[in-house]
Amino acid sequence: MSENLFVPTMAEMMAQGKQPEVLFWVGCAGSFDDRAKKITKAFVKILNRANVSFAVLGTEESCTGDPAKRAGNEFLFQMQAMTNIEVMNAYEVKRIVTACPHCFNTLKNEYPELGGNYEVVHHTEFIKMLLNEGKIAIEGGQFKGKRITFHDPCYLGRANNVYEAPRDLIQKLDAELVEMKRSRANGLCCGAGGAQMFKEPEKGNKDINIERTEDALATKPEIIAAGCPFCNTMLTDGIKHKEKEAEVKIYDIAELIANAQDL
């Protein structure tokens, strides 16, 4: 990579006798999806800028099992979860940060009963913490004064009550945060949860992601901010469907922060 990103693995850290402060759980989307890889890179740039001691599992990371569990395959979920827990416990992992609310929810709420007890934070919470501790500074940069609306991911908002961190970060950019009518606890799903991301929609009058994109466009935004790679995909498809790609951009919160700083 030409960008000089510094991404150590847990195995490399262990070989040097070091224990990172936090494990960055990349997730399947962040590892394999071309659009989500950009979110991963943006977040790593922020971690590097803040001199955070972190590591990834690399090839030792497997899917958390969220899609399997939501689709009803509890057996596959437990197999995937147990494999990950064995790896993480061997490395004595204590804190995890992830940019995917699905991974976040599963690691935080469903791994403990299988023996995986970790402090799990979403990347928007983590970035806000870095800001509060003075490890990074944010100026508006290219987003100053822009109209930005934030779409609440189901597993971040309603499932885990994380509403403020992403909004605080948008406001730190000196941007104008405009709320959709359905937001926070009344937010509408993008349509990708419950493993729906991986199947074609059933017959109906309108796809959920189109409905949600219409909610967002009603605020007349220049940017729709997301905090989840699945939501990002669904909203991007919605914007393409509405032929608004030239006027409205979709960014993850980490990308907004990294781009504002020209990291």
More confident residue, 142 or 157: 157
> Does the pLDDT at position 165 exceed 80?
yes
Mean pLDDT for the stretch of residues 70-78:
96
Mean pLDDT for the stretch of residues 76-82:
98
pLDDT for 1 equals: 40
pLDDT over 90 for what percent of the chain?
Answer: 90
Mean pLDDT, the chain, integer? 95
Residue 99's pLDDT band (boundaries 50, 70, 90)?
A: very high
Mean pLDDT for the stretch of residues 9-30:
97
Residue 198's pLDDT band (boundaries 50, 70, 90)?
A: confident
Q: Are 60 and 26 in contact (CB under 8 A)?
A: no
d(CA 263, CA 257): 9
pTM of this structure? 0.95
Residue 125: HSE in the Cβ half-sphere, 13 Å Cα cutoff:
17
> Does the pLDDT at position 154 exceed 90?
yes
pLDDT for 255 equals: 97
